Amino acid sequence: MFDLVSLGLEAGVAGICILKDHTMKTEQSLVPISATPAGQDANGVSHNGGPTRSRSPKVDAPPAPLNDELVNQILKGHGLRGWLRVANVSRVLGLLTLYLFLDSYDIRSKFNRRTAERRREAARAGGRQAQFLQFCRGGVGSMLDRAIQVLRFVVFRGADGSTRKMARLEKQAVWLRENLIALGPTFIKIGQTLGTRGDLLPLSYIKQLSILQDQVPAFSTSEAHARIEAALGRSVQEAYAEIDAEPIAAASLGQVYRARLHTGQEVAVKVLRPHLKEIIRFDIAILYRLVKLTNRFFPRANENADWEGMLQEFHRTIFEEMDYGREGRNADRFRYNFRDWRAVRVPRIHWSHTASQVLTMEFIRGTKVVDLEALRARGISPVKVNRLLVRSYLKQLLEDGFFHADPHPGNLLVMDSGHLAFFDFGMVGRITPRLQSQMIDAFFHVVSRDVHGLGQDIINLNFLKPGVDPETIRPIVEGLFKHYLNLKLGEVNFKELTYDLAEVMYEYPFRLPANFTYIMRALMTLEGIGIVTDPEFSFFETAKPYAKEFMLKREGRLFRKLIFDKLTGRENGSDRIQWTKVWKLTKMAANMYLER
């Protein structure tokens, strides 16, 4: 599985060292941030011919990358309160990691025994000295193995049978969810992110962490009004003709009120939680110290997961989410990308009433995408809604390279016209042309039933850990996909496929690339919505005709260009036609035709 000694056995000691360590170092200035290129916004959207904005607030600079000097500066001067916070975070992460390490130890133990056997065979050929050293090493390893097995029995109280283990994992997952909520916004967001990482956590944990989407208490309206006035520089009464006394929604980072402008327009006002940036900055500094100390004492901890890289990515994305000016610009870009799609709506941003901590947008009424009774009462077909949702995501992923990364039911509404409205653009994903090309390769191999090609896709997409020989893993990957490729596309369940892939990742040397976390999270969420509204829903079957559209119509010009580059070899710097790929594409088209 994976070696999570990382944050576990060291978390308690690391927590004690954190505040002590930083006081011994001198305070240094933050790393400067380069300016956005002229003619572009912070998202790289050209102002020439792109979405127009009126008096949009300046987007906050991206946070400086985490380093020792920055973390020392953040941790300085928090006193007893800081120590208590460190202790609580260390307790939760330490117990979590200990649970996961002990759970995975049965597979790790088998691996260790196989390794020891190979070493004994090598020692027999190396003479008496080598045999003696191996005997000593084996004895120490055997004692350590027994000690861990005893610790496992004590911690889990012997609950290791299949049924008892499932019950225990469920109990641990509930404990984790409740403690993350108690730790606050930073750890709720971490839990939401970990809920997509089947390569890191058992399925029981993933299912519990998915509940975190709607388990956040609201903060007081008086605090919300104070933040609105501070951000906009005027009183709430001057900014809005009326505003609801209670929020209509609350999330980990902010909450939403319904209001009306003095012009009569109905709007939604999103307000950032108070003191949020300070809390999150301090929590991330704690996590950085834990990861650094763990890597120092347990360097193998990074074999199964790039903890520091994941923390840097989380640090960047969560500060982007806390900048409502950036979220508004993301919404503008998304709306511009769908300017020719009447069936997709994105609320317009009222920039005169928007700042980095307050976002005022058009209020759009609609029905939740999973509310079947309400949809049918309005004469709206859930099947058509699913098709529209899938089609819009294919455009985002394969054409725009810019997609909504958090499409849970709270961020989607179906209007009375049957049009689909997207909300909350704090979490967006970007896809490079190279990754789009690799995704198209994978699509070809799925449809043409090319098991060997899919195995190569897993390697090309960097799903293997550094240093792993691809040829030793290829049979495992091909064995996983062989079952699914014998099914029709309509029989393939994306979530089941993802969970099966997660189990393989959990037991073998795979790791989920950071750029795939949001993609898989979005697609799993989409299939979950589709199955709720239509038990016969299949993401692949629904996507198939629209994938063909993107190849054949104007809106798929980038998609077609990538295909052309593959067939002519231009992606590899060649001008020769790749006849093998032409043949595979022909087989793919034949399969599509036969499965209509």
- 424 in Cβ contact with 522 (< 8 Å): no
> What letter represents residue 452's amino acid?
H
What residues act catalytically? 406
Residue with the two structure tokens 């996961």: 100
Q: How far is CA 32 from the centre of its chain?
A: 27
Instruction: Report the b/e string of 561-570 with b at 16+ CB within 10 A.
Output: ebbeebbbee
- 283 in Cβ contact with 89 (< 8 Å): yes
The rounded distance, in Å, linking the Cα atoms of 210 and 433 is 31
The rounded distance, in Å, linking the Cα atoms of 460 and 481 is 16
Q: Which residues contact 114 (CB under 8 A, 6 or more apart)?
A: none
Dihedral angle, C-alpha 172, 175, 176, 181, nearest 10 ° = 170
Taking the CA atoms of 149, 151, 152 and 154 in sequence, report the sign of the dihedral they define.
positive
- 519 in Cβ contact with 386 (< 8 Å): no
The rounded distance, in Å, linking the Cα atoms of 360 and 319 is 19
> What letter represents residue 66's amino acid?
L
Residue with the two structure tokens 């390794």: 115
> What letter represents residue 258's amino acid?
R
Exposed / middle / buried, residue 286 (Cβ in 10 Å: 0-12, 13-18, 19+): buried
Say which DSSP state 397 is in: I
Phi and psi (nearest 5°) for 442? -60, -40
The rounded distance, in Å, linking the Cα atoms of 242 and 592 is 55
- Dig out the tokens for 429 from the structure: 């994903």
Q: Encode 236-277 in three state secondary structure.
A: HHHHCCEECCCCCEECCCEEEEEEECCCCCEEEEEEECCCHH
The rounded distance, in Å, linking the Cα atoms of 565 and 331 is 32
Among residues 331, 363, 347, 365, the alpha carbon closest in space to that of 259 is found at 363
Exposed / middle / buried, residue 250 (Cβ in 10 Å: 0-12, 13-18, 19+): middle
